[in-house]
Amino acid sequence: MHVSIQRESSTSLYEQIARQLLEEIQRGEFEPSGKLPSEAQLGERFGVSRVTVRLAVGKLSADGVVERKQGKGTYAAPRQVRHGLDALRSFHEALLLQGLQPSMRVIEHRLQAVPEALAGLFAGARQCLCVERLHYVEQEPIALGRSYLPAQMAEVDWGQAQDEPIYSLLARVTGVPVRRADLAIRAQQADAALARALGIKRGAALLVMERTSWTGDEHFCDRTTFYIRPERYAFVLSGMFTTP
């Protein structure tokens, strides 16, 4: 189908094409695979050269709208996940609320000595349970979570409960729900182990969210650090703000 573009417009041809393709991607016209037509097909459709098409696709790629996969073509980029910081919810729940189909896989769970840096939080306990889980969206790893939990959480059957959020498990085992959490967000580079688990290059940038949680009776119950692929995830905060 030939699509007419405004050749006398002050907006360049490649920008017009990029805008048209963006609208079509947002309408889901390239689903379910997400694959866009080839450069030759787009050039024929819009009546422009491959150079112009390449500039349009390059703009969409720079904006994070599409991904170029060598030898496979150009695909609409997966939808970015938005995690609100204005409500207490688990990482897994934040994915579910956006209509996604997340899953988790337990990599490891083990009783170990409480790390020295966390001794104050565990209030004299000698042991804790360390659990590592990979979080997936559409079968693609999006984050690795490493949790330090009270030793009594070792009674959980992690093979059966690997898709259950930590907060839900804590409430079920302890009988007391999580009521408060402090979050700290920073960035770091992926080491070899994180790169391998998340399917990214060593040294790639990661978002790191450190969560410290307490129950309603003010007992510490969870320290989880999430190592997150930033191209798929964003933290947002909504609210009324006043100027100083």
For the segment 197-238, what is each residue's pLDDT rounded down to a tens digit? 999 899 999 999 999 999 988 899 999 999 998 876 776 665
Between the alpha carbon of residue 118 and those of residues 124, 145, 186, 225, the distances in Å are 10, 17, 19, 13
Q: Pick the more confident residue, 85 or 161.
A: 161
Mean pLDDT of 158-174: 89
pLDDT of residue 241: 46
Can you give the pTM of this predicted structure? 0.68
Domains and CATH numbers, the chain: 13-76 (1.10.10.10), 81-236 (3.40.1410.10)
- DSSP H helices, 76-225, are 91-96, 166-174, 192-198
Mean pLDDT of 4-11: 75
Q: Pick the more confident residue, 230 or 90.
A: 230
